[in-house]
Structure 1
Amino acid sequence: MTKPLPDHGDRHTVVVVVAIQAAISLGYFAAMAHVVLHLKVDLGLAAGLIGLVLALRNLVQHTLSLPVGALVDVLGPVRIGVLACLLRAAGFALLGTVSSLPWLVVAAVLLGTGGALFHPAAQSLLAGLAERRRARGYAAYTVTLQIAAVLGPALGLALLNVGYWLVGLTAAALWLGAAFLFALLRHGPPVRAVSGVVSGVRTVLRDRVFLGFAVVSTPAMLVTDQASVVVPLSGVDAGAVTVFVCVLAMVSAMVQPWCAVPGRADRPGVLRAGLLFAAAGHLLLAVGAGGALTGLVLVAALHGLADGLLQPAVFQTIARLAPPTRFGAYLGVQTFLSGLFAFAGGIAVGWSFDRGPGGATAALVVLALIACAAAACARPHPGQAIDARDAAQARLP
């Protein structure tokens, strides 16, 4: 089991990282909550091309996560975080102002590259804290994301009355503000890797316990991310999409105080429950429950539970298994595997929806089955088994 770093008084780090999360998430959800309708209605792209553009962003982001995670360990999260925000600001500016497919591809690449840099940078700052501070800090980080996920689509919907170009430029401005906030963090975690990127990735690939967890958790990204894609592709309007995203975010935020208890979120039962909630949400969509507002709210609540459990489950388990100087590399490998799977799945889902109602139903059922299969494979890792044994012995008279 990884021993946490000493608590070096990083309340300032938590406050600034949470402020960064507020800025970038508000911009991200304002733009991304309505991007499918923008690409479909404003630009007239087919569902397959929409799926390709969105999946390309995921592919770039999560493919680059493999080397970038280890790079954060070497160079430090602050400089990487500033660069990430600048790249994503450029990507959102393009997304709101271009209409040709080649430029949309450029925007997707910039957004994906910025995301590959941002997530290991921000999460490495939190992973470097002591366990109690780390659990509470990540909960605050996630709650802030979900609050922004409630406010962001509403902001985007208001700006959409002027045009999607304003949505994109507003998101870009918020990411520029986040770059400034990153610059306020002059000190990252006190311990950094001294060897290079290749060495960091090689260390992860030799860790069989972690690789087992990475494989089991790989479908989590696909089954949660596709919820925000399949709902607008199902034919609901912008108002219903906004309701869906907001309910999902509120439920996810409500779960975070429960996950903030140290040692709770990395239990395999939490990962398993999150996957099963996602499966139930996709099955309800498959039987047409999303056609009515009540059914759509229920689906959003199930996906909110899934999202609220899976995010801290993955983060806390990686923080538990990774050496303090290698969190970025471990996160990078897990994200790389998840991103490749999500890319392939996103392409398949978009293609299936182009085939008509039968194809859409089949795609939703397959997503549910994938989530169920992953949940069935979730098992305690050796460190958890030892902890459980020690706890049981401590209760003996």
Structure 2
Amino acid sequence: MAPPLRSETSTLLGAQLVFNVGFYAVVPFLTSALSGEYGMGAAAVGLILGARTFSQQGMFLVGGMLADHWGPKRSILLGCLVRIAGYVTLALATDFSLFLLGAVLTGAGGALFSPALESQLSRADGTEQPQSGKRRSVFVWLALTGEFGALVGPLIGAALLGWGFDAALAFGTGIFCVVTLVLWFRLPASPRPKRQTGDGGGRRTGLAFPEAAKDRRFFLFCVLVSVNMVAYNQLYFTIPLELNRLGLGEAWLAGLFLLASVLTLLLQLPVAAGVQRLGEARAMSVGFVLLALAFVLAATASTMRESGVSAVVILAAAVGLLVLGHMSLTPTILSVIPRFLRSGTAGRGAYYGLAATCGGVGVLLANGTLGFLQSTAGQAGWEPGLSLLLLVALAAAASAVLPFVVPSESAAIRVGTRARTAAVKR
């Protein structure tokens, strides 16, 4: 049983909840606003959404390094301020360039906030040691708290859209202003962590990044698992476009987001238990199969000329499979990354940062490609949604190759033994 949450831990979990409410009240409806209210094409919308995701995922490594340099509190507060600047820019935007800038600032705010919050959360809860039994419980609460925010946010956003997209932006801006003030007073100033390398010296942890970048096996792993992020990002890109094409409004989109959040809240723990029984490599393979099946269904729905119960049911089933695959993949991916480390815990942030960066690059490239294919589909005489078959192929490839890329658990044990031996010698 997890211990009672400390005051600082509760504050951080509450911040994650509010941060997600402010995010999901706005970003899920960005596609509909850009393509509807502002009349942008699919290619432009895809680039804006891809840039937002890339600026967040691609900067996670930078955000973690800044948290180490400044201390987590400063990075958390700066992340809130940058997110506020992003929302204000989106509210004032009248052309593509300003929308792109607002989306990039929105993503950069998350890149500064999230790694700093996770670092401070582990410190506040006394879970800095990798083998601590508390670590899993506190991060499970973080996931569930964030998902509850993802559940409430779209409902608030859908309600505010009756007054226009700017109303949702105003709500998001206001809630981030409030959480910034609360965190300013509630979070204690934290000492800057000591910077060290695997050899026990006092040099910068950033020197470990080339080791992660040169690890070809790990780079292949990052490329393959980036398909998971690309796939889940379609909840905010191609799924809303399909709903628009079928003539279904924001209420249906909010319903699909509600379905995704409810499934996550109800099934995350049972899915995690299933992953433990299957083993990490097999579970990831199954997860990508579920993603492939999800996009087969979504492509099928795109061939329907008119909206109806059957199209909605197919899209709902696609979202269900997408969420199940994502639930089985994301925690598993994060848990196996340390197996690639060659020097104990040194450079761990670089490995996680590289994985997140590959995901951001993948989303940018995939959304740009899918947007281009959907924009030119009419001229080629085929249904725009058939471009989703590209994601089917990517997910199938990841499912087939990943079991041969993930190191065995025995390799991780050997790394841990070497690290403990080196620590004793020091």
Equivalent in 337, 356, 366 of residue 377 of structure 2: 356
- The amino acid across from 2:388 in the alignment is L
The answer to whether the aligner puts 1:302 opposite 2:321 as a matched pair is yes
Tell me, yes or no, if the aligned pair for 1:54 and 1:108 is still in contact at 8 Å.
Answer: yes
Please state whether the residue corresponding to 1:44 is helix, strand or coil: coil
Q: Equivalent residue for 1:270?
A: 283
Please state whether the residue corresponding to 2:163 is helix, strand or coil: coil
Determine the C-alpha separation between the residues in 2 that align with 1:18 and 1:253.
16
Q: Equivalent residue for 1:25?
A: 20
Q: Equivalent residue for 1:227?
A: 235
Higher mean C-alpha deviation, range 217-226 or range 110-119: 110-119
Equivalent in 397, 401, 406 of residue 373 of structure 1: 397
Equivalent in 342, 348, 357 of residue 336 of structure 1: 357
- The amino acid across from 1:366 in the alignment is L
- The amino acid across from 1:384 in the alignment is E
Tell me, yes or no, if the aligned pair for 2:336 and 2:406 is still in contact at 8 Å.
Answer: no
Tell me, yes or no, if the aligned pair for 1:352 and 1:362 is still in contact at 8 Å.
Answer: no
> Identity rate of aligned residues, in percent?
23
Q: Equivalent residue for 1:65?
A: 60
Is the alpha carbon distance of 1:119 and 1:331 closer, same or farther for their aligned partners in structure 2, counting shifts above 3 Å?
farther
- The amino acid across from 2:257 in the alignment is V
- The amino acid across from 2:374 in the alignment is F
Query: Aligned-pair distance for 1:86?
Result: 1.0
Q: Equivalent residue for 1:186?
A: 188
Please state whether the residue corresponding to 2:133 is helix, strand or coil: helix
Is the alpha carbon distance of 1:48 and 1:61 closer, same or farther for their aligned partners in structure 2, counting shifts above 3 Å?
same
Q: Equivalent residue for 2:424?
A: none
Query: Aligned-pair distance for 1:203?
Result: 3.9
Determine the C-alpha separation between the residues in 2 that align with 1:338 and 1:164.
28
Q: Equivalent residue for 2:331?
A: 312
Determine the C-alpha separation between the residues in 2 that align with 1:321 and 1:9.
34
Is the alpha carbon distance of 1:46 and 1:381 closer, same or farther for their aligned partners in structure 2, counting shifts above 3 Å?
closer
TM-score, normalised to structure 2's length? Answer: 0.80
Determine the C-alpha separation between the residues in 2 that align with 1:256 and 1:190.
34
Is the alpha carbon distance of 1:371 and 1:84 closer, same or farther for their aligned partners in structure 2, counting shifts above 3 Å?
same
- The amino acid across from 2:31 in the alignment is V
Is the alpha carbon distance of 1:104 and 1:386 closer, same or farther for their aligned partners in structure 2, counting shifts above 3 Å?
closer
Query: Aligned-pair distance for 1:211?
Result: 3.6
Determine the C-alpha separation between the residues in 2 that align with 1:258 and 1:320.
24
- The amino acid across from 2:349 in the alignment is G
Count of residues in Structure 1 that have an aligned counterpart in Structure 2: 383
Is the alpha carbon distance of 1:359 and 1:302 closer, same or farther for their aligned partners in structure 2, counting shifts above 3 Å?
same
Determine the C-alpha separation between the residues in 1 that align with 2:75 and 2:57.
16
Determine the C-alpha separation between the residues in 1 that align with 2:108 and 2:55.
6
Is the alpha carbon distance of 1:166 and 1:361 closer, same or farther for their aligned partners in structure 2, counting shifts above 3 Å?
closer
Tell me, yes or no, if the aligned pair for 2:213 and 2:219 is still in contact at 8 Å.
Answer: yes
Please state whether the residue corresponding to 2:59 is helix, strand or coil: helix
Is the alpha carbon distance of 1:12 and 1:330 closer, same or farther for their aligned partners in structure 2, counting shifts above 3 Å?
farther
Query: Aligned-pair distance for 1:321?
Result: 5.4
Q: Equivalent residue for 2:250?
A: 238
Is the alpha carbon distance of 1:180 and 1:319 closer, same or farther for their aligned partners in structure 2, counting shifts above 3 Å?
farther
Please state whether the residue corresponding to 1:34 is helix, strand or coil: helix
Is the alpha carbon distance of 1:182 and 1:101 closer, same or farther for their aligned partners in structure 2, counting shifts above 3 Å?
same
- The amino acid across from 1:60 in the alignment is S
Q: Equivalent residue for 2:138?
A: 137
- The amino acid across from 1:286 in the alignment is A
- Unaligned runs of 5+ residues in structure 1 are 1-6, 390-397
Higher mean C-alpha deviation, range 192-201 or range 326-335: 192-201
Query: Aligned-pair distance for 1:324?
Result: 4.7
Determine the C-alpha separation between the residues in 2 that align with 1:338 and 1:116.
13
Cα displacement string for residues 300-357 of structure 1 (whole angstroms, at most 9, x for unaligned residues): 2112212222332233333665655644322211111111111000101111111236
Equivalence map 1:13-52=2 (5 Å): 13-52=8-47
Determine the C-alpha separation between the residues in 1 that align with 2:389 and 2:383.
10
Tell me, yes or no, if the aligned pair for 2:70 and 2:192 is still in contact at 8 Å.
Answer: no
Is the alpha carbon distance of 1:190 and 1:207 closer, same or farther for their aligned partners in structure 2, counting shifts above 3 Å?
farther
Is the alpha carbon distance of 1:269 and 1:110 closer, same or farther for their aligned partners in structure 2, counting shifts above 3 Å?
same
TM-score, normalised to structure 1's length? Answer: 0.85
Determine the C-alpha separation between the residues in 1 that align with 2:144 and 2:353.
23
Determine the C-alpha separation between the residues in 2 that align with 1:319 and 1:8.
26
- Unaligned runs of 5+ residues in structure 2 are 197-202, 415-426
Tell me, yes or no, if the aligned pair for 1:124 and 1:327 is still in contact at 8 Å.
Answer: no
Is the alpha carbon distance of 1:132 and 1:275 closer, same or farther for their aligned partners in structure 2, counting shifts above 3 Å?
farther
Equivalent in 233, 249, 266 of residue 261 of structure 2: 249
Higher mean C-alpha deviation, range 159-168 or range 320-329: 320-329
Higher relative contact order at CA 8 Å, sep ≥6: structure 1 or structure 2?
Answer: 1
**RMSD across aligned positions (CA):** 3.2
Q: Equivalent residue for 1:148?
A: 149
Determine the C-alpha separation between the residues in 2 that align with 1:135 and 1:168.
34
Give the structure with higher Rg (CA).
2
Is the alpha carbon distance of 1:197 and 1:170 closer, same or farther for their aligned partners in structure 2, counting shifts above 3 Å?
farther
Equivalent in 55, 72, 76 of residue 77 of structure 1: 72
Determine the C-alpha separation between the residues in 1 that align with 2:22 and 2:356.
22
